[in-house]
Structure 1
Amino acid sequence: MSDTIYSDLKQLGGATVLPANPDEAELERVQNPQADTAYNVRFTAPEFTSLCPMTGQPDFAHLVIDYVPGEWLVESKSLKLFLGAFRNHGAFHEDCTVSIGRRLAEFLAPQWLRIGGYWYPRGGIPIDVFWQTGPMPDSVWIPDQGVPPYRGRG
């Protein structure tokens, strides 16, 4: 590959191993070629999995991540591997959701970021967790996350 904004990417286009935990996951980013334009980027992970730190049982969530990029875009394969690294990671729903949002915000320095963690019920109680970096920008179209209140999610 010639020297481009993509030259520093290590994971895209090659074989990769799922990191053992989120701390080992390497997020990658590229320069935003549209940095002079405010726009929203949405990632949806409808099959996110982590482990209950007390029982070791699997927990499942539908994650929706919205961000208005600044100078950086997250490379999607590295994001997929980062999220997949939670599969064997024990943490409560709140910790998983907020940790993902904070790590992305610190790494990307976006104009704005929010994450909605819509967790499937265990013990009869769904837990939905929401975090954002600040007020939603007025000048950018940011649709509703589209996940209804729990009535049997799917």
Structure 2
Amino acid sequence: MLDAAHRHDATFSMPRPDLLETFPNPYPGRGYEIAMECPEFTSLCPLGGIESDAEELNQLEGGAPDFATMHITYVPGDVCVELKSLKLYLWSFRNDGIFYERAVNRILDDVSAVVKPVWMEVVGDFNIRGGIKSVISARIGTRTG
């Protein structure tokens, strides 16, 4: 639950699910959806340099940033995720070398573990890398309305 005195460290090296906070769902008996979009998601490529044999390029590509828009949609149970804590949690991926698929599934696992939704979907819409656009989605639960 929210703690007004709780302070967050803005320096990260890996995902921090401990940053996620919740508040009571104001309509716990109603099957409504909450949709959030984070257009500034950033992580690092875990395999920097594999696309080129040139030593100079390998050094430049290692740990290159990946950018995405993360879409998180869910039907809440008893609690909802607090937006500032979600933002800080998503920022905590900034210095993590992680594959797209793992990032999306990790976000789903971490957020759903805290929120315990009826249904949740996370979609990572990643910017083009190497001429290929990737959109990864993962979901849990049963969507109800």
TM-score, L = length of structure 2:
0.82
Q: Does 1:37 align with 2:30?
A: yes
> Which residue pairs with 1:17 in the alignment?
9
TM-score, L = length of structure 1:
0.77
Letter matched to residue 52 of structure 1: C
The 1:106/1:16 distance shift into structure 2, 3 A limit, reads: closer
- Distance across 2 between alignment mates of 1:104 and 1:116: 13
Say whether the 8 Å CA contact 2:17–2:110 is kept in structure 1: no
Q: Which has the higher strand share?
A: 2
Letter matched to residue 134 of structure 1: G
Partner-residue secondary structure (3-state), 1:78: helix
Q: Which runs of 4+ in 1 moved over 6 A?
A: none
The 1:100/1:40 distance shift into structure 2, 3 A limit, reads: same
Per-residue deviation, residues 54-83 of structure 1 (Å, max 9, x unmatched): 210000111110011000111111100000
Displacement of 1:119 after TM fit? 0.6
> Which residue pairs with 2:140 in the alignment?
133
- Distance across 2 between alignment mates of 1:122 and 1:88: 18
- What is the root-mean-square deviation in Å for CA atoms of aligned residues? 1.7
Displacement of 1:92 after TM fit? 0.5
Q: How many residue pairs end up in the alignment?
A: 130
> Which residue pairs with 2:90 in the alignment?
83
Displacement of 1:17 after TM fit? 2.8
> Which residue pairs with 1:152 in the alignment?
none
Q: Which has the higher contact order (CA 8 A, sep 6+)?
A: 2
Say whether the 8 Å CA contact 2:118–2:142 is kept in structure 1: no
Displacement of 1:16 after TM fit? 3.6
Displacement of 1:22 after TM fit? 1.0
Q: Does 1:69 align with 2:61?
A: no
- Distance across 1 between alignment mates of 2:139 and 2:82: 20
Which runs of 5 or more structure 2 residues have no equivalent in the other structure? 49-62
Which runs of 5 or more structure 1 residues have no equivalent in the other structure? 140-154
- Distance across 2 between alignment mates of 1:90 and 1:26: 19
Say whether the 8 Å CA contact 1:97–1:115 is kept in structure 2: yes
Say whether the 8 Å CA contact 1:51–1:89 is kept in structure 2: yes
Displacement of 1:135 after TM fit? 3.5
Per-residue deviation, residues 69-126 of structure 1 (Å, max 9, x unmatched): 0001111111000000111111010100110011111111101000111111111111
